[in-house]
A and B are shown apart, each in its own frame.
Chain A
Amino acid sequence: MTKQFKNIFIAAIALVSSVFFFACEETIPIDTGDLAERVVIEGMVTNEQNHYVKLTRTRSFYGKGPADRIQNAVVSVSDDEGNTFQFAHNPDNDPEKTGFYYPVVNFHGKVGTTYSLDVEVDGERYNASEKMLPVTSIDSLVVSIDEDEKADPEDAGSFYEILFYAKEPQDRKDQYLFKFYKNGEILKDSETDIYVTDDVLLGETIDDVETAGFYQLGEVAGVEMYSLTQEAFIFYSDLVNLLNSDGGMFSPPPANPRNNLSNNALGYFQVSAVDRETIVVTEPDGD
């Protein structure tokens, strides 16, 4: 969620490498052997109307460019009230959206409803089902100046940070995924960051929490907060561990994230309620 607000232990383990003052590294070729191609499913159903299913194929470790998109699949999502929504491949023929499937007739996802995904690729079926859990709402975002960054900014003028406020319900178990945006573009402190947390350690008052990155005056900051099932939280936690693995010296050996998809497919079918907030970065009120 914030710069420090990751799995604390990943941070600690990362620090271990910095302890080895003399540690050096270099790029080396590795022999990765042959891999049987697998289907990767990235499905998203929300309480809004921005559902999609993205289908790609795995590639070799040294593969370049965007993944091979699957365009000939049959995709549908059904809910536990008997409704089935057919998805069609890139109806607008947008070259950027090759491999993306959208509902033919759009629908609003509902909190408490269980959605099931059905994908057929080259005669193979892939299924998943997931319940939509409620999301905690964002109270507010506040612009603040990071004094350390101001003293030595990486980008001139870019030293405003966005603080996040919310009330975490203490009477139910929640899991969250956060996404941060700058002028509509996704923003991460590092390319392997995923801002995901459960509420085991969280108190009710979530105040002054720094979001990723720094902003300049006039930029638009956006925060999205997604509800996750426990299974989705596990998937994202596993993905964080995999993306940040040290090779198994101090951390566990890297392993594929656990997911909710059948038939050995990779990826996840995520069903989330979303809350979002944006703010234009202005000079904070002096105090």
Chain B
Amino acid sequence: MRTLFFTMCAFMIFNISMAQEKFTFNGYVREAGSGEELIGVTVLIRETGGGANTNPYGFYSLTLPKGEYTIEFRYVGFKTKRQKITLDKDISLNIDLEEESIELNEVVVTAEKEDENVTNIQMSKNELNIQQIKKLPALFGEPDIIKTIQMLPGVVSAGEGTSSFFVRGGSADQNLILIDEAPVYDPSHLFGLFSVFNADVIKDSELYKGGIPARFGGRLSSILEVRTKDGNNKELKGKAGIGLLASNLMLEGPIKKDKSSFIVSARRSYIDLFLRLANQKNLVYFYDINAKVNWRANNKNRFFLSVYGGRDDFNFDGNFGFDWGNKTATFRWNHLFNDKLFSNTSLIASNFNYGLGSDDKTDGFQWDSSLAEYSLKQDLNYFINPDLTLDFGYHLTYRNFAPGKITPVEGSIFKEVSLQEEFALDHGIYAGLQHQVSDKLTFQYGARLSIFQNVGKNTVYTYLNQQDNINPIRTGSKEYGSLENIKTYVNLEPRFSARYILNESSSLKASYNRMVQNTHLISAGTVPLPFNTWAPSSTYLKPQIADQFALGYFKNFGNNTYEFSAEAFYKDISNVTDFADNARIFFNEDLATEFRQGSSEAYGLELMFQKKKGDFSGFVSYTLSKVDRTIPGVNQGKSFVANYDRRHNLNVVATYDYNDKWTFGGNFTYGTGRPITLPSGSYEYGDGYYADIITERNGYRLSDFHRVDLSATLTPQKNKGKKFETSWVFSLYNVYSRKNPFSIYTRITQDNDGNIIGDGTQKEARLIYLFPLLPSVTYNIKF
């Protein structure tokens, strides 16, 4: 590690000493129609072949020797713009790029060369094209980025109808899910049928699976970064969508033209209205609200405020119910210190909470749990020269975990009980350098120093045997005052990536990253529930540490029409958090006795073939992977395949723009069945109970999963030139109505009405499957 730092410093000094008379050329790149900043635009210097990309805020900066240059701005789906400049002083230039579109359709086409797949140093990253996702078939007609993420190479789902995803052998809680930089602790609506991301406000989203830049930390396996739109700063626009289960409305427009804009969007399900009509007493709904304002004070200062709030509410028979939701807020200040130094300062708050209650007079109670997080992030980009960019910064996070409090209804049999709250401070200091060594070779190296403190106020108990989860015996306790340090964990996370261009159309990439996770999900199931809680690293819970190596070959064909990549990875996790067999994870005052940490090993091969351009676009992804865990105290200490270990995964996703009126979409997904624990026998006990005998965790597999979905989008031609543009999206989910296994449980043999057959001693296994063929239609209006 030390060597790496020395090398890094040496490179910097070397480069700085080479300085001659140079000037800086910088600015923002925006979409001409709406004024939205564009992320990842290629800024190419014709004369040298070198260049840069716009950063997540649409900003670029190039420092070049005095001279005349032709600069090209290239971006998928946009017309390339050429700009001649005479660089004899520092120049600041904002660029507007025009969308390359066919009439009224939001079709993404590009006529320009686009070789990011080969030339970008970043490997193991997938960008999600939201316009394409909207054309794909969707469950109940709700476009959902997480459902598309589940089809990417290296990503596995636990089954349909869930919003969990598993990246390169990591569990669902190892993904850092960010909306405008704020973490979302539970991305699910309706237990995962939909995700919290409303497609109408998403500007851009990316999934990092490996080679993770030093500016990210905190989770082991992936970073899903979702950015919302800034809002049109030229004119007022809107969109309304009416779907089968939910409707949404979005408005965006300038507050002050070209200076400041807003966007606000709301989505609400109306299943409860149908249920009410059907005279059902069980009511269910969810909603999402996204809002953002941004203000360009001048070219050096920009401000954003983005908020999200969403909630699910379930009510049964009018007296029992539960709800959960996320709230996030991000305030950002982009500041240009000088031509080369770009700064982003963010203040972030995120809150996740759930409640569960009954107002029954006998056993009524209200159960509340919450997690609050507040962060300050200072990120800096230093554009040293076109070959060298330094990213560095400091992140400070404070977290408050309130795992549970029970308040009885007056007169109920319960008493007030609350679990101890926990607090943590998390410091991240990082630096990462992107260094183009030659035309062919680029390195990105850096490190993140994670300093995690479990702090008071708290009482830490010592146990006679900390692993005794049957009858835990506390032998002592120590009190800690507010913010008093209880336990500190310091970890250095080295990050390294390299890219070597083999020829014009192919390259090799390699990466290594270490990630550390100090917030642990308290869940023993395969798919997290919104009722799960989180806990910080503490006296009894060590930080989880993942080391990942990845190697990839990238090639483009047919003048960059087709992109191909093959990546192999190996990921080793130490102290992976798991729980004892039979762990009692809900409302356990001695939860520490249920923790079992061990190791996880995963490796795999991922193939991706993608066509981004033309009327016909899409991708084919294949993942071969294996992940197992060895946890002392779980499954008698023997290794077992993880709950989400699925050997083969094949996905095909395609859209076809047939003409101005019709667009078609389709996908096919195939996956090896999920591992499951099934009985090897049974026995009789007590008053007619027939219990299963379990001999091996995850010793069996569900049968293979496969499904085809189709969609068609109709944009009537009479729209042409009208103020309102309408479209219809028709979807067919599970076209051949495959009974894909969700889970298996056992019971005493019963008939279809639930009456026991025979003498009540015989057991049977029941397969649960979710969705048969489901048609849906959504109507959209844009204005």
- Given contacts A38-B693, A249-B742, A253-B698, whether A59 and B413 have CB atoms under 8 Å apart is no
Chain B residues with CB under 8 Å of A57's CB are: 683
- Given contacts A203-B414, A266-B693, whether A249 and B159 have CB atoms under 8 Å apart is yes
A179 in contact (CB, < 8 A) = yes
A82 in contact (CB, < 8 A) = no
Which of A179, A186, A209, A256 contacts B694, CB < 8 Å?
A256
The smallest beta-carbon distance between B118 and chain A, in angstroms, is 41
B97 in contact (CB, < 8 A) = no
Task: Indicate the member of B525, B700, B770 with the most A CB atoms within 10 Å.
Answer: B525
Which of B527, B582, B756, B770 contacts A23, CB < 8 Å?
B770
Q: Are B742 and A12 in contact (CB under 8 A)?
A: no
Q: Could you list 16 examples of A-B contacts with CB < 8 Å? A: A8-B367, A27-B764, A27-B767, A28-B765, A63-B761, A168-B413, A179-B687, A202-B415, A234-B470, A234-B582, A248-B525, A252-B582, A253-B581, A255-B677, A256-B581, A267-B685
B-facing mask of A16-28, CB < 8 A → 1, else 0? 1111101111111
Chain A residues with CB under 8 Å of B413's CB are: 5, 168, 202-203, 205-207, 209
Top 9 A-B residue pairs of the complex, sorted by shortest distance between their CB atoms:
A252-B524, A247-B743, A203-B415, A35-B681, A255-B581, A67-B684, A253-B677, A249-B743, A30-B765
Nearest-neighbor residue (CB-CB) of B412 within chain A: A203
Q: Are A253 and B761 in contact (CB under 8 A)?
A: no
Which of A15, A34, A203, A252 contacts B408, CB < 8 Å?
A203
- Given contacts A15-B316, A65-B759, A249-B158, whether A58 and B525 have CB atoms under 8 Å apart is no
Q: CA separation between A209 and B58, bound complex, in Å?
A: 63
A188 in contact (CB, < 8 A) = yes
A191 in contact (CB, < 8 A) = yes
The smallest beta-carbon distance between B639 and chain A, in angstroms, is 15
Q: CA separation between A15 and B531, bound complex, in Å?
A: 13
Chain B residues with CB under 8 Å of A251's CB are: 524-525
A-facing mask of B677-690, CB < 8 A → 1, else 0? 11111111111110
Q: CA separation between A33 and B697, bound complex, in Å?
A: 14
Q: CA separation between A17 and B192, bound complex, in Å?
A: 12
Q: Are A210 and B362 in contact (CB under 8 A)?
A: yes
Chain B residues with CB under 8 Å of A227's CB are: none
A-facing mask of B511-540, CB < 8 A → 1, else 0? 000000000000011110101000000000
Q: CA separation between A190 and B579, bound complex, in Å?
A: 29
Q: CA separation between A237 and B585, bound complex, in Å?
A: 13
Chain A residues with CB under 8 Å of B742's CB are: 20, 23, 249
A262 in contact (CB, < 8 A) = no
B461 in contact (CB, < 8 A) = no
Q: CA separation between A125 and B413, bound complex, in Å?
A: 44
Q: Are A191 and B748 in contact (CB under 8 A)?
A: yes
B766 in contact (CB, < 8 A) = yes
The smallest beta-carbon distance between A134 and chain B, in angstroms, is 18
Chain A residues with CB under 8 Å of B624's CB are: none
A282 in contact (CB, < 8 A) = no
A286 in contact (CB, < 8 A) = no
B-facing mask of A240-255, CB < 8 A → 1, else 0? 0111011111111111
Task: Please classify the interface of chain B as helix (H, G, I), strand (E, B), loop, or mixed, using the class held by over half of its residues.
Answer: loop
Q: A19-49: which have CB < 8 Å to B? A: 19-20, 22-35, 38, 40, 42
Q: A183-237: which have CB < 8 Å to B? A: 186, 188, 191-192, 194, 200-210, 230-231, 234, 237
Q: Are B682 and A15 in contact (CB under 8 A)?
A: no
Q: CA separation between A168 and B412, bound complex, in Å?
A: 13
Q: CA separation between A66 and B314, bound complex, in Å?
A: 42
Sorting the interface of chain A by its residue count into under 10, 10 to 19, 20 to 34 or 35 or more gives: 35 or more
A60 in contact (CB, < 8 A) = yes
Q: Are B320 and A248 in contact (CB under 8 A)?
A: no
Chain B residues with CB under 8 Å of A250's CB are: 191, 525-527, 529
- Given contacts A35-B695, A238-B582, A243-B691, whether A202 and B191 have CB atoms under 8 Å apart is no
Q: Are A28 and B744 in contact (CB under 8 A)?
A: yes
Q: Are A248 and B643 in contact (CB under 8 A)?
A: yes
Chain A residues with CB under 8 Å of B684's CB are: 40, 56, 66-67
The smallest beta-carbon distance between A126 and chain B, in angstroms, is 14
Which of B193, B362, B579 contacts A208, CB < 8 Å?
B362
Chain A residues with CB under 8 Å of B691's CB are: 239, 242-243, 257, 266
**Besides A24-B772, A247-B744, A249-B159, 8 new A-B residue pairs in contact (Cβ under 8 A), listed by A number:** A2-B363, A61-B679, A64-B759, A179-B687, A208-B362, A246-B768, A252-B525, A255-B582
Nearest-neighbor residue (CB-CB) of B525 within chain A: A250
Q: CA separation between A61 and B689, bound complex, in Å?
A: 13
Q: CA separation between A230 and B470, bound complex, in Å?
A: 7
A140 in contact (CB, < 8 A) = no
Q: Are A27 and B766 in contact (CB under 8 A)?
A: yes
Chain B residues with CB under 8 Å of A42's CB are: 685-686
- Given contacts A28-B765, A247-B676, whether A20 and B161 have CB atoms under 8 Å apart is yes
B242 in contact (CB, < 8 A) = no
Question: A residues within 8 Å of B by Cβ?
Answer: 2, 4-5, 7-9, 12-13, 15-20, 22-35, 38, 40, 42, 56-67, 168, 179, 186, 188, 191-192, 194, 200-210, 230-231, 234, 237-239, 241-243, 245-258, 266-268
B284 in contact (CB, < 8 A) = yes
Q: Are B363 and A4 in contact (CB under 8 A)?
A: yes
Chain A residues with CB under 8 Å of B749's CB are: 27
Q: Are A59 and B525 in contact (CB under 8 A)?
A: no
Q: CA separation between A22 and B774, bound complex, in Å?
A: 10
B769 in contact (CB, < 8 A) = yes
B190 in contact (CB, < 8 A) = yes
Q: Are A20 and B316 in contact (CB under 8 A)?
A: no
Q: CA separation between A185 and B116, bound complex, in Å?
A: 74
Q: Are A248 and B526 in contact (CB under 8 A)?
A: yes
Chain A residues with CB under 8 Å of B361's CB are: 208
The smallest beta-carbon distance between B598 and chain A, in angstroms, is 15
Chain B residues with CB under 8 Å of A238's CB are: 582
Q: Are B363 and A40 in contact (CB under 8 A)?
A: no
Chain B residues with CB under 8 Å of A20's CB are: 161, 191, 193, 742, 770
Q: Are A64 and B470 in contact (CB under 8 A)?
A: no
Chain B residues with CB under 8 Å of A35's CB are: 680-681, 693, 695
Chain A residues with CB under 8 Å of B768's CB are: 17, 23-25, 246-247
Which of A22, A26, A242 contacts B692, CB < 8 Å?
A242
Q: Are B584 and A267 in contact (CB under 8 A)?
A: no
Which of B417, B525, B688, B700 contacts A30, CB < 8 Å?
B700
Task: Indicate the member of B322, B367, B471, B743 with the most A CB atoms within 10 Å.
Answer: B743
Q: Are A192 and B362 in contact (CB under 8 A)?
A: no
Nearest-neighbor residue (CB-CB) of A168 within chain B: B413
Chain B residues with CB under 8 Å of A268's CB are: 685
Q: CA separation between A258 and B697, bound complex, in Å?
A: 16
Which of B360, B470, B680, B746 contacts A231, CB < 8 Å?
B470
Q: Are B693 and A202 in contact (CB under 8 A)?
A: no
The smallest beta-carbon distance between B311 and chain A, in angstroms, is 15
- Given contacts A26-B766, A28-B767, A242-B692, whether A201 and B679 have CB atoms under 8 Å apart is no
Q: CA separation between A33 and B677, bound complex, in Å?
A: 13
Chain B residues with CB under 8 Å of A266's CB are: 683, 685, 691, 693
Nearest-neighbor residue (CB-CB) of B159 within chain A: A249
The smallest beta-carbon distance between A33 and chain B, in angstroms, is 5
Which of A59, A206, A247 contacts B745, CB < 8 Å?
A247
A-facing mask of B743-783, CB < 8 A → 1, else 0? 11111110000001011111111111111101000000000
B449 in contact (CB, < 8 A) = no
Chain A residues with CB under 8 Å of B356's CB are: 8, 12
Nearest-neighbor residue (CB-CB) of B771 within chain A: A22
Q: Are A9 and B774 in contact (CB under 8 A)?
A: no
Q: Are A258 and B314 in contact (CB under 8 A)?
A: no
Q: CA separation between A12 and B282, bound complex, in Å?
A: 14
Q: Are A191 and B358 in contact (CB under 8 A)?
A: no
Q: Are A61 and B581 in contact (CB under 8 A)?
A: no
- Given contacts A59-B682, A61-B679, whether A246 and B745 have CB atoms under 8 Å apart is yes
Q: Are A248 and B191 in contact (CB under 8 A)?
A: no
Q: Are A191 and B688 in contact (CB under 8 A)?
A: yes
The smallest beta-carbon distance between B130 and chain A, in angstroms, is 27
